[in-house]
């Protein structure tokens, strides 16, 4: 029998928003490091295709704003694997809109995915792990917009600030159960979610934006995946309740 090697060898990792972008990159990297990967998303065709490219990975449909769907997915993963060692709450949506033009319905949609989705993910998984006497690592994807407000993104910034606060509170509550909780705060990362914004599509604006980044470039999905890998593994065993910024040095 071949022993699986890697920093996540023997661990089971559940990743939301895993069909593309950062989530898919995290899935590929985790599998390379020995993890059994479970991807979830609402983009079923893309999610199944992403899982098919990762050895041993599985895919589940999951609307992160649905309590019932969270119960189903966590229950099935625990039933099949007996454990969830890593939860990455990666699913999220952006919205660029002025405060005075944002409707209640738009605001609630952003919060249902970016904030409620993270809450449900942590709560559902924590209940299962505590009942099974297991610890784990939760990694919540926030944003630099969860540390300082971003122009024309009031709803998005509010949702990401909520993730930052929930992470800190949950870490204090869950630490005694062996569950660590940290947040990752990306800057501008080139993914399908950001593919249509001008700092990505407009060469002149992109060049100007990159001149203001100390590292000198827009981030890539692998930059986030590498940080998430650190927080998922045992190398970060003494880290919990912390906000890890990955933005090339813009945020002060």
Return the bridge partners of 86, or none. Answer: 13, 137
CA distance 243 to 187: 13
* Cβ contact 250:144 at 8 Å: yes
In terms of DSSP bridges, do strands 36-41 and 12-15 run parallel, antiparallel, or are they unpaired? parallel
CA atoms of 8 and 24, how far apart (whole Å): 16
Catalytic residue among 60, 107, 156, 238: 156
Annotated active-site residue 107? The verdict is no
The gap between the terminal CA atoms of the chain, to the nearest Å, is 49
Cβ neighbors of 119 (< 8 A, separation 6 or more) are 166
Quick check: helix, strand or coil at residue 246?
strand
Strand 189-190 vs strand 243-246: parallel, antiparallel, or unpaired? unpaired
d(CA 197, CA 233): 33
- Within 8 A by CB and 6+ apart from 207, the residues are none
> Which residues, including other chains, have CB under 8 Å from residue 24's CB and lie 6 or more apart?
18, 39, 50, 221
Q: Which residues are catalytic?
A: 156
């Amino acid at each position: 029998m071949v022993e699986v090697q890697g920093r996540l060898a023997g661990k089971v990792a559940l990743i939301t928003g895993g069909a593309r972008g950062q989530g898919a990159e995290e899935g590929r990297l985790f599998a390379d490091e020995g993890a059994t990967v479970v991807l979830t998303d609402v983009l079923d065709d893309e999610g199944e295709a992403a899982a098919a490219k990762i050895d041993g990975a599985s895919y589940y449909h999951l609307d992160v704003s649905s309590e019932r769907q969270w119960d189903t997915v966590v229950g099935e993963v625990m039933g099949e694997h007996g454990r969830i060692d890593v939860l990455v709450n990666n699913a999220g949506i952006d919205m660029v809109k002025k405060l005075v033009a944002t409707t209640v319905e738009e605001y609630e949609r952003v919060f249902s995915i970016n904030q409620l989705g993270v809450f449900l993910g942590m709560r559902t998984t924590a209940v299962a792990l505590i009942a099974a006497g297991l610890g784990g690592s939760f990694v919540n994807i926030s944003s630099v917009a969860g540390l300082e407000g971003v122009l024309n993104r009031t709803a998005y910034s509010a949702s990401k600030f909520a993730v930052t606060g929930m992470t800190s509170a949950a870490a204090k509550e869950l630490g005694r159960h062996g569950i660590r909780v940290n947040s990752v705060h990306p800057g501008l990362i080139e993914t399908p979610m950001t593919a249509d914004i001008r700092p990505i599509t407009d060469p002149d604006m992109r060049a100007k934006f990159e001149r203001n980044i100390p590292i000198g470039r827009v981030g890539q999905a692998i930059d986030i995946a590498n940080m998430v890998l650190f927080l998922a593994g045992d190398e970060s065993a003494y880290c919990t309740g912390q906000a890890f910024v990955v933005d090339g040095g813009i945020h002060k």
